[in-house]
Amino acid sequence: MDASRPDLALRGVRKTFDAGSAPVRALRGVDLVVAPGEFVALRGPSGSGKSTLLHLIAGLEPSDEGTIEVAGARVDGAGRAALARLRRRHIGLVFQFFHLIEHLSALENVALPALIAGARATEATQRARDLLDRLGMLEKSGELPGALSGGQRQRVAIARALANRPTLLLADEPTGALDSAGAAEVLDLFTRANDGGQTILMVTHSPEVAARAHREVHVRDGRVVAGESGVFEAAITGDAR
């Protein structure tokens, strides 16, 4: 791996939604660079554009302007097949409300990304088992999501997001729906994954959660307004017109 290459690089990213009467300028020129192994917390008021930013990075929605690179590959302008490949190989996604498949067991949910990526069933299952074991969820591997607590569901969702060993783990308020015990458990998992070298970009409202990150990036009205001083400070604060 090229250590000088950032895992994520955004330059001049803009996105406007045509919602009924007035267009909503959700992102107004975002620059952001995240280095391999960094754990970055993305903070900002409700409606400031944090989720939109994550969706664009993951290629779930197209940007209007600017460039988005994940692991050196362009997300903006990529075709459907290239995007699917990029997402499979390089991006893990964790949402506030887990988005697990309710009729699949915890183990089957975690094994699914590897199966979709073409792994053999025995290998995908073994990998899922190892992940659930590491996250303290092995004894729950046969349960359906409905039988699990919120914190346990989120642990399964994190295992699923890590299943294909993604370059970049994106999380949108992953502790937002959890009680304080569940949130602490989940936060420990992110910290451990990061200690193991996993690059993380996490949206959070919570200052306590953000305090676990290496660096905070603040978003307001579709712009990055400040980032705590870090290696890439200049890249973050520079030219966010």
Ligand X SMILES: Nc1ncnc2c1ncn2[C@@H]1O[C@H](COP(=O)(O)OP(=O)(O)O)[C@@H](O)[C@H]1O
The footprint of ligand X (CB under 6 A) covers 17, 19, 24, 26, 44, 46-52
What is the distance between the alpha carbons of residues 28 and 189, in angstroms, rounded to a whole number? 33
Segment contacting Mg ion (CB under 5 A): 48-56, 161-169, 180-188, 211-219? Answer: 48-56
Q: Which residue has the tokens 């642990």?
A: 155
Stretch near Mg ion under the rule CB under 5 A, chosen from 43-51, 175-183, 187-195, 232-240: 43-51
17 interface partner picked from ligand X, Mg ion, none, CB below 5 to 8 A per type:
ligand X
What length is written for the chain? 241
Residues binding Mg ion: number (CB under 5 A): 1
Question: Cβ of residue 66: shortest distance to Mg ion, in angstroms?
Answer: 20
Nearer to ligand X, 130 or 221 (CB): 221
Q: Name which of 45 and 238 has its Cβ closer to ligand X.
A: 45
- Smallest gap, in angstroms, from Cβ of residue 103 to Mg ion? 27
Q: Which is nearer to ligand X, 26 or 34 (CB)?
A: 26
Please give the structure tokens belonging to residue 191: 């910290």
Greatest CA separation found in the chain?
53
Which of 36-44, 50-58, 77-85, 184-192 is the region at the interface with Mg ion (rule: CB under 5 A)?
A: 50-58
Q: Which CB sits closer to ligand X, 18 or 139?
A: 18
Classify 173 in phi/psi space as left (phi over 0), alpha (psi -120 to 50) or beta. left
Closest CA to 40 of 221, 224, 212: 212
Among 31, 40, 51, 183, the residue binding Mg ion under the rule CB under 5 A is 51
Judged by CB, which is closer to Mg ion: 49, or 113? 49
Q: What are phi and psi of 3, to 5 degrees?
A: -65, -20
CB of 62 to ligand X, least distance (A): 12
Nearer to ligand X, 89 or 205 (CB): 205
The strand order across the sheet containing 65-70 reads 23-34, 8-18, 65-70, 73-74
Q: Is the dihedral of CA 165, 187, 191, 107 positive or negative?
A: negative
Is 48 a residue that touches Mg ion (CB under 5 A)?
no
> Are 106 and 156 within 8 A, CB to CB?
yes
CB-based burial label for 42 (10 Å; 0-12, 13-18, 19+): buried
To the nearest whole angstrom, how small is the minimum distance from the Cβ of residue 52 to ligand X?
A: 3
- Judged by the rule CB under 5 A, the positions of this chain that interact with Mg ion are 51
